[in-house]
Amino acid sequence: MFGYALTRIAVALGLIWAVVTLVFLIIHFVPGDPAELLLSQGGVAPDPVAVTELREKLGLDRPILAQYVSHIGGLLKGDLGSSLLDDHSVAEEIALRLPRTLELIFAASLIAVLFGLPLGTLAALRSGSPIDRVLAGVAGLGLSIPVFVVGTIAILVFAQKLHWVPAGGFVPFSRDPLQHLILLLMPASAIAVGLGAVVFRMTRSSVLEVLERDYVRAAHAKGLRPSRIVLHHVLRNALIPVVTVLALHMGSLLGGTVLVEFVFNWPGLSGYLVRAVEQRDYPEVVGIVLVISIAFVVINLAVDLLYAVIDPRVRHG
Amino acid sequence: MAARPIHRLYLPGAIVAAIIAVALAAPLLPLADPVKMEVPARLALPSLGHVLGQDEYGRDVLSRIIWGARASLAVAFFSAICAGLVGTALGLIGGYARGFLEIVTVRSMEAIVCFPPILLALLVVTLMGPGAATLVIALTILYAPGYTRVAFAATLATRGLDYVTAQQALGARPVRILARTILPNVAPPLLVQFSLTVAAAMVLESGLSFLGLGVVPPAPSWGLMIRGARSTMEQAPWLLLWPCLALTGTILTFNQLCDRLRDVLDPRAGSAGAGWLERAAARVWPDASPAAAPSLLRVEGLTIEIETPTARIRPVRDVSLSLAPGETLALVGESGSGKTLTGLALMGLLPPTMEIVTGRVLFVDRGGRARDLVHLPETEMRGLRGDEIAMVFQDPGSSLNPVHRIGDQVAEVIRAHRDLSRAGAAAQAVALLKDVGLPDPEQRSRAYPHELSGGQRQRTMIAAAIANGPRLLIADEPTTALDVTIQAQILDLLAVFKAKSDMGLIFITHNLAVVAEIADRVCVMYAGEIVEEGPVAEVFARPRHPYTAALIASAPEGADAQLAAIPGTVPLPDALPAGCTFAPRCACAAEPCHAAKPAFAEVSPGHASRCFRWKEIA
């Protein structure tokens, strides 16, 4: 178990290094001068003085290897540079906003699993029945509605027409826990619609597959109750591919928050990213992309470790 | 369920075609100018001139929806095609050439997948500024890896095939082989990938446009329209509704098309039943006619039926057998002879696709009551399973749950039938594992199945089966998956347990050497019927059915006997001969054998055969 965890962590560190290097290379090997590219607006050639200034500020005038070394050195110290517009520290801003985005992802995953897992199991156990078909139809719809459509319509219905919840915004948990959770509910649910549909589909097909296994027949031959067979023997095995798929969707989930944070005014990392992209604030964009990519690697690491808990065979491999 | 899935492609296919046709025909349709503003008529309700109303600048909504479809579909299709060309080419090259080229093409694509998709798109937008061209480039980069993976996998699977090797031997150039031979074979999965990509690209395009980072206003796009309608949605919610409906509907149709396309191309993915969780129904009425209570078990005229798409077949027909306490009955036959199904029927474990259409299974429980297992309610049957009647299966590797410790898997059968504490059951499980000869049972009970050898796994399965001291044990080829030396040990183990109790044992096997070693009586099954039954010594010495005789003659000396030397094959249950089922392969078949079915008749006390000419077999 310990050796397995150590290997996984080493692989994750390697991946993070690869991501850092890749982002660095993208910026440097894109055709054209990045400084010039960033300053040009609508095809008008930028002021050469400004370009030179920006090149110096970004350190683009130094040899590429030196840039790379100082880039890595900065990262190790937690320095992601500062905003081109207001000199605000990128690392500080990210430290403030990252927990909010992770909270959103966590809440959305929780809601998605809470609905997708039991309903997926139910649909598998009653496969071919009317319940199964209705649930499959709902899941198909859930997969097809873009997250910003769900969010926008939810605001229209629940905030503006029914006045059940505010249209969006954010209150720190420390100031008003209840209001914080109420404001979290809508964006998290909006993400959970598509994610829940994915979890549902995966659970359904995975449970169906496990039900055909010999060990389920053997469990039945022991005279166990169906509830115990499902909970103890089927679900534990069926969860393995569900966890895989959930992990694979973390990427699109991190993407999904961009739109949801925008729709619900949730001041997370992704909204910050959109603003940075709009203003083409290059250190901000690079910093956020790095942090999200690293978060992505870390989430995958956590999932790998979770595997080992669910499936004893993995600990050996 | 979906018998002809190709049918199911028509509806979503037609809708997709209609959407594309309308988008293509946009310049020809009598539509208002999608960008012409008419500020006094802002947020106007639907009217004759503007069927869906006018937006926040007084532009015609219908026209913008249709022109928006054009923008969305153009970006989605164009990037799906670009990604398809780039990705497929890289996958084909990587899969065909392998080596260094594979690293350059396939592995570099996998690095892209490490990035969250929308981040990558935003990175491209940062560098290039918003616009439709940026979108196409971003989406191409994003979706090329999907094609690469599909094309790579399919190429690897195809390149080793004989006809590709043959072309190489004939000196065809790689490009020609790739284009002419491999590409057509990888086309179906790529087609699915294409429609997946179009749907995904539409989602991403509309999302980026919604953020204001995609299509540049005033050009219409569904994402932009939803963005615009958001600001006025309190006064004019319908403005929000149209683009939302158009977008969701289109994506839904594409997804449906994808799902069904996949069903057509990959027919494996059919719907399955509820697996082993449900019990087969009995279609026969309870037989209330009095019968002499058996000493342990008597099966009378058991017939099992399966409904297949073409016909109803009966893989087990009119099987009767009986068993006394302490007796061992061997059920012998080739694969497909119905012996395993018979065993499962006794356990009430036939899958729900099957039905018991005739017969009864009388079993005398510990209380001395004879009960018909075919009609026993599931809750009572569950009480017997694992307790009074237990079963050991053929492959211990797949019959143990891989994620639970073996001690727990033995303990759970005890706790299912006895009121025992967790610790008490665990201690008993360790004792049982010791009894079946597992070394170091205390520690081994905490092991997982994959940490045990095949023989140890089967010992564990036997420990679970005998945990509650069953009156009847059904062992379905328990040694087939094991080494010869281990086989002998497992047989000894079963013999020891039988000697200790008066447990009845039904031993299902195709191995005659094992039968001679372990059984008191033998039932020989052929094509779903019992063809001969009698005491082992007598049947082996004087077989009264040609099939049994042929089996004995063909069995080589030694433990690893296989039944292969009889000419011909077992008839399939849906193509049984009119007369005796064995007649087509029988050396002594005569005229009546092909015309009528022989009855199962006693040839000497306790010895019966299903043959017209049993007297002539010596």
CB contact at 8 A, A203 and A243: no
Question: Which pLDDT does position A6 carry in this prediction?
Answer: 85
Q: Which range has the worst mean pLDDT, A7-21, B71-85, B162-176, B530-544?
A: B162-176
Residues near A4 by beta carbon (within 8 Å), at least 6 away in sequence: A308, A314, A315, A316, A317
Q: Which residues of B touch A221 (CB under 8 A)?
A: 347, 349, 385-386, 390-391, 393
Question: Which pLDDT does position B238 carry in this prediction?
Answer: 78
Q: How far is the C-alpha of A238 from the C-alpha of A226, rounded, in Å?
A: 16
Mapped onto helix, strand or coil, the DSSP state of residue B475 is strand
Helices (H), ranges, B273-377 = 339-347
Average pLDDT value over all residues in chain A: 82
**Percentage with pLDDT > 70 across chain A:** 91
> Cβ of A97: how many Cβ atoms within 10 Å?
21
Helices (H), ranges, chain A = 2-29, 34-39, 48-58, 64-76, 90-125, 130-144, 147-154, 177-211, 214-221, 226-228, 235-248, 250-264, 269-278, 282-310, 312-316
pLDDT band of A31, cuts 50, 70, 90: low
What are the structure tokens assigned to A60, written together? 């683009």
Q: With an 8 Å Cβ cutoff, are A255 and B119 in contact?
A: yes
If we measure between CA atoms, which residue out of B338, B305, B301 comes closest to residue B320? Answer: B301
What are the structure tokens assigned to A227, written together? 């509830």
Ramachandran class of B379: left when φ > 0, alpha when ψ lies in -120 to 50, beta otherwise:
alpha
**What is the pLDDT averaged over residues B575-585?**
85
Q: With an 8 Å Cβ cutoff, are A233 and B248 in contact?
A: no
A216 touching B, CB under 8 A? yes
Q: With an 8 Å Cβ cutoff, are B210 and A223 in contact?
A: no
B207 touching A, CB under 8 A? yes
Pick A289's closest partner by Cβ from B123, B207, B395: B123
pLDDT band of B289, cuts 50, 70, 90: low
pLDDT band of B277, cuts 50, 70, 90: low
Mapped onto helix, strand or coil, the DSSP state of residue B558 is coil
Q: How far is the C-alpha of B508 from the C-alpha of B522, rounded, in Å?
A: 10
CB contact at 8 A, B504 and B313: no
Instruction: Write the DSSP assignment of A96-120 as a string of letters.
Output: HHHHHHHHHHHHHHHHHHHHHHHHH
Question: Which pLDDT does position B287 carry in this prediction?
Answer: 66
pLDDT tens-digit readout, A48-99: 787 787 777 777 777 878 888 888 888 888 777 777 777 788 888 888 888 8
Q: With an 8 Å Cβ cutoff, are B119 and A289 in contact?
A: yes
Residues near B266 by beta carbon (within 8 Å), at least 6 away in sequence: none
pLDDT band of B431, cuts 50, 70, 90: very high
pLDDT over threshold 80, residue B257: yes
Instruction: Write the DSSP assignment of A15-72 as a string of letters.
Output: HHHHHHHHHHHHHHHSSS-HHHHHH-BTTBPPPHHHHHHHHHHHTTTS-HHHHHHHHH
pLDDT tens-digit readout, A105-130: 889 999 999 999 999 999 998 888 89
pLDDT over threshold 50, residue B270: no
pLDDT tens-digit readout, B18-61: 888 888 887 777 777 777 767 666 666 777 666 777 777 777 77
pLDDT band of B517, cuts 50, 70, 90: confident
Residue with tokens 């019968």: B291
Q: With an 8 Å Cβ cutoff, are A215 and B400 in contact?
A: yes
Mapped onto helix, strand or coil, the DSSP state of residue B436 is coil
Question: Which pLDDT does position B559 carry in this prediction?
Answer: 45
Q: With an 8 Å Cβ cutoff, are A216 and B276 in contact?
A: yes
What are the structure tokens assigned to B207, written together? 């999302």
Q: Which residues of A touch B373 (CB under 8 A)?
A: none
Within 58-117 of A, beta carbons closer than 8 Å to B belong to none
Q: How buried is residue B539: exposed, middle or buried, by Cβ count under 10 Å (0-12/13-18/19+)?
A: buried
Give the DSSP H or E segment for B360.
Answer: strand B354-364
pLDDT band of B292, cuts 50, 70, 90: low
Q: How far is the C-alpha of A209 from the C-alpha of B274, rounded, in Å?
A: 9
Q: Which residues of B touch A293 (CB under 8 A)?
A: 114-116, 119
CA distance B554 to chain A (A): 32
Question: Which pLDDT does position B520 carry in this prediction?
Answer: 92
**What is the pLDDT averaged over residues B290-317?**
83
Angle (deg, nearest 10), helices A269-278 and A282-310: 150
Give the DSSP H or E segment for B44.
Answer: none
Average pLDDT value over all residues in chain B: 82
If we measure between CA atoms, which residue out of A296, A300, A298, A316 comes closest to residue A308? Answer: A316
If we measure between CA atoms, which residue out of B112, B103, B101 comes closest to residue B147? Answer: B112
Q: What are phi and psi of A235, to 5 degrees?
A: -65, -40
* β B370-372/B389-392 pair status: unpaired
CA distance A75 to chain B (A): 19
What are the structure tokens assigned to B479, written together? 């040694």
pLDDT tens-digit readout, A168-194: 778 888 888 888 888 898 999 999 998
Within 246-305 of B, beta carbons closer than 8 Å to A belong to 247-248, 251-252, 255-256, 259, 271-277
Q: Which residues of B touch A254 (CB under 8 A)?
A: 116, 118-119
Q: How far is the C-alpha of B218 from the C-alpha of B570, rounded, in Å?
A: 74
Q: What are phi and psi of B511, to 5 degrees?
A: -105, 110
Angle (deg, nearest 10), helices A235-248 and A177-211: 120
pLDDT over threshold 90, residue B487: no
Q: What are phi and psi of A43, to 5 degrees?
A: 80, 0
CA distance B194 to chain A (A): 17
**Percentage with pLDDT > 90 across chain B:** 19
Question: Which pLDDT does position B1 carry in this prediction?
Answer: 41
B212 touching A, CB under 8 A? yes
Question: Which pLDDT does position B568 carry in this prediction?
Answer: 77
What residue in B sits closest to A277 (Cα-Cα)?
Answer: B126
Question: Which pLDDT does position B271 carry in this prediction?
Answer: 45
Q: With an 8 Å Cβ cutoff, are B401 and A237 in contact?
A: yes
CA distance A247 to chain B (A): 12
**Torsion angle of alpha carbons B178, B182, B187, B192, nearest 10°?**
-100
Q: With an 8 Å Cβ cutoff, are B244 and A220 in contact?
A: no
pLDDT over threshold 50, residue A167: yes
* β B601-604/B521-526 pair status: unpaired
User: Which segments within B153-296 are labelled E, that is strand?
Assistant: 281-282
B232 touching A, CB under 8 A? no
Distance of CA B125 to the CA centre of its chain: 44
- CA-based torsion, A39, A42, A45, A49: positive or negative: negative
CB contact at 8 A, B90 and B105: yes
pLDDT over threshold 90, residue B532: yes
Is pLDDT larger for residue A49 or for residue A207? A207
Radius of gyration, CA atoms only, chain B: 35
Question: Which pLDDT does position B561 carry in this prediction?
Answer: 46
pLDDT band of B111, cuts 50, 70, 90: low
CA distance B270 to chain A (A): 10
- Report the residue of B276, B379, B391 to disrupt the A interface, i.e. the one with the largest count of A CBs within 10 Å: B276
CA distance B282 to chain A (A): 18
Residues near B200 by beta carbon (within 8 Å), at least 6 away in sequence: B143
> Cβ of B491: how many Cβ atoms within 10 Å?
18
Q: Which residues of A touch B386 (CB under 8 A)?
A: 221-224
Give the range with max mean pLDDT: A262-266, B132-136, B502-506: B502-506
Q: How far is the C-alpha of A252 from the C-alpha of B119, rounded, in Å?
A: 9
If we measure between CA atoms, which residue out of B285, B291, B353, B279 comes closest to residue B322? Answer: B291
Q: How far is the C-alpha of A29 from the C-alpha of B283, rounded, in Å?
A: 74
Q: How buried is residue B94: exposed, middle or buried, by Cβ count under 10 Å (0-12/13-18/19+)?
A: buried
Question: Which pLDDT does position B3 carry in this prediction?
Answer: 46
A22 touching B, CB under 8 A? yes
- Report the residue of A84, A125, A217, A248 to disrupt the B interface, i.e. the one with the largest count of B CBs within 10 Å: A217
Q: How far is the C-alpha of A32 from the C-alpha of A47, rounded, in Å?
A: 16
A198 touching B, CB under 8 A? no
CB contact at 8 A, B515 and B536: yes
CB contact at 8 A, B349 and A220: yes
* β B370-372/B354-364 pair status: antiparallel
Q: How far is the C-alpha of A276 from the C-alpha of A81, rounded, in Å?
A: 14
What residue in B sits closest to A218 (Cα-Cα)?
Answer: B399
Distance of CA A210 to the CA centre of its chain: 28
Q: With an 8 Å Cβ cutoff, are B412 and A34 in contact?
A: no
How big is the CA angle at A147 (ends A207 and A246), to the nearest 5 degrees?
30
A218 touching B, CB under 8 A? yes
Q: Which residues of A touch B401 (CB under 8 A)?
A: 215, 218-219, 233, 236-237
Pick A311's closest partner by Cβ from B118, B226, B403: B403
Q: With an 8 Å Cβ cutoff, are A26 and B116 in contact?
A: no
Give the DSSP H or E segment for B142.
Answer: helix B132-159
Mapped onto helix, strand or coil, the DSSP state of residue B309 is coil
| DSSP single-letter state for residue B530 | E
Could you tell me how many CB contacts below 8 A there are between chain A and chain B?
Answer: 222
Question: Which pLDDT does position B187 carry in this prediction?
Answer: 77
pLDDT band of B9, cuts 50, 70, 90: confident
A292 touching B, CB under 8 A? yes
pLDDT band of B445, cuts 50, 70, 90: very high
B422 touching A, CB under 8 A? no
Question: Which pLDDT does position B269 carry in this prediction?
Answer: 47
What are the structure tokens assigned to B462, written together? 């036997």
Question: Which pLDDT does position B2 carry in this prediction?
Answer: 42
Report yes or no for ipTM above 0.85.
no
Q: What are phi and psi of A96, to 5 degrees?
A: -75, -40
What are the structure tokens assigned to B194, written together? 């294409």
pLDDT band of B566, cuts 50, 70, 90: confident
